[in-house]
Amino acid sequence: MRVVWAVVAAVALGAGAVAAQQAAMPAPVVQAQDLTRVSAHVQVIPDRGLSGLPNVGFIVGTKAVLVVDTGLGPPNGETVAAVTRRIAPGRKIYLVATHAHPEHDLGAQAFPAGTTLIRSSVQAREEAADMRVAAAFAQRGADWAALLKGAVFRPADLTFETRHVLDLGGVSAEIEAMGPAHTPGDTIVWVPADRVLFSGDLAMKLQPSMATPTATLADWRRVLDRQAALAPAIVVPSHGPVGDAGFIEGYRDYLAEVARRTAEAKRAGQDPAQAVETVAAAMADRYPDRARLGGAVRMAWKDVEG
């Protein structure tokens, strides 16, 4: 399956490089009224296609609720916390971030003190990186800066190494550490009763961001293989529309083509910069985010044989 991805902004923007675009970006404000049920136990506030706004998920059981991602900054966190209390009144609140980027993570401080924030041991150490990206996001405009005012990285209440299972009452949620890939501490959430997968940035309609220096093509293939093995019926990505396992297949196709074309360029004697140009010329009509495509080629260059 081939998936055509839309152009999306890079996670961290170079200073002044796209100032005009930043000024035009609407503030990524979570809209509680958009809450939508996607399965028996899962509800989602969709991102409406806005940069800097995640799909916020709620897995609701009879005893507890797990919230997946918080929105950008304390005001969005307050909105998400209020929705949580409304749809799961009196129940224990658990919270997880699919990864430590500010639109997913820096609303956590607005949740009530009794909330249990769960992080993988790797993600728990990503405070510095999260705040660096937040500083870049704050440069996108006054509204963005206002959302991030006073934002801090909330420490984990519970950490795990590879996998943690929550019994929410009538439904379980399996939280699994997947990094390094998009970030060192990527996390997915699987709801087996509903066959719903929260894939983070690891499977979306949008073109993948492959900028983690320590990640390899093998890491990404492992991540995709693990997600595919779950055989999800519904995939809720970090960004973009809710879909199905076709997102996973689409990322596999993308990696395979990038690896093949990069190897061909390397065998032809090209250097990495030339390979980016060559691969982009062949793929940019289908994968138009040049920065992300270049990151994939540079990752492939390290792994493929020339």
Per residue in 211-223, pLDDT tens?
Answer: 788 999 999 999 9
What pLDDT is recorded for position 25?
A: 75
The pLDDT tens digits for 84-114 are: 999 999 999 999 999 999 999 999 999 999 9
pLDDT of 65 strictly over 70: yes
What pLDDT is recorded for position 24?
A: 56
Q: Are 74 and 56 in contact (CB under 8 A)?
A: no
Range 9-41 burial, b when 16+ CB lie within 10 A, else e: bbbbbeeeebeeebeebebbbbeeeebeebbeb
Phi-psi region at 169: left, alpha or beta (left = phi > 0; alpha = psi -120 to 50): left
pLDDT > 90: what percent of the chain?
Answer: 88
What pLDDT is recorded for position 179?
A: 85
Distances (CA, A) of 33 to 28, 29, 36, 81: 15, 12, 9, 14
SS3 196: strand
Residue type (1 letter), 234: I
* Beta strands per DSSP E along the chain: 36-37, 42-45, 56-60, 64-68, 92-96, 116-120, 158-160, 163-167, 172-177, 187-191, 196-200, 234-237
Among residues 115, 109, 117, 147, the alpha carbon closest in space to that of 28 is found at: 147
Contacts 24+ apart (CB under 8 A), 17-25: 22/139, 22/140, 22/141, 23/141, 25/51, 25/52, 25/140, 25/141, 25/144
Contact residues for 257 (Cβ-Cβ < 8 A; gap 6+): 283
pLDDT of 305 strictly over 80: no
What pLDDT is recorded for position 11?
A: 38
23-28 mean pLDDT: 76
Confidence of residue 124 (pLDDT cuts 50, 70, 90): very high
What pLDDT is recorded for position 20?
A: 42
Q: d(Cα 206, Cα 220) in Å, to the nearest integer?
A: 16
258-287 mean pLDDT: 96
pLDDT > 70: what percent of the chain?
Answer: 92
pLDDT of 254 strictly over 80: yes
294-300 mean pLDDT: 95
Confidence of residue 60 (pLDDT cuts 50, 70, 90): very high
pTM for the whole thing?
A: 0.91
Question: What DSSP designation does 25 have?
Answer: P
SS3 263: helix
pLDDT of 7 strictly over 90: no
Phi-psi region at 78: left, alpha or beta (left = phi > 0; alpha = psi -120 to 50): alpha
Confidence of residue 303 (pLDDT cuts 50, 70, 90): confident
Q: d(Cα 79, Cα 237) in Å, to the nearest integer?
A: 20
Distances (CA, A) of 6 to 11, 261, 264, 291: 15, 21, 26, 13
The pLDDT tens digits for 153-196 are: 999 999 999 999 999 999 999 999 998 999 999 999 999 999 99
What pLDDT is recorded for position 304?
A: 81
Q: d(Cα 184, Cα 201) in Å, to the nearest integer?
A: 12
Cis peptide before 74 (omega within 30 of 0): no
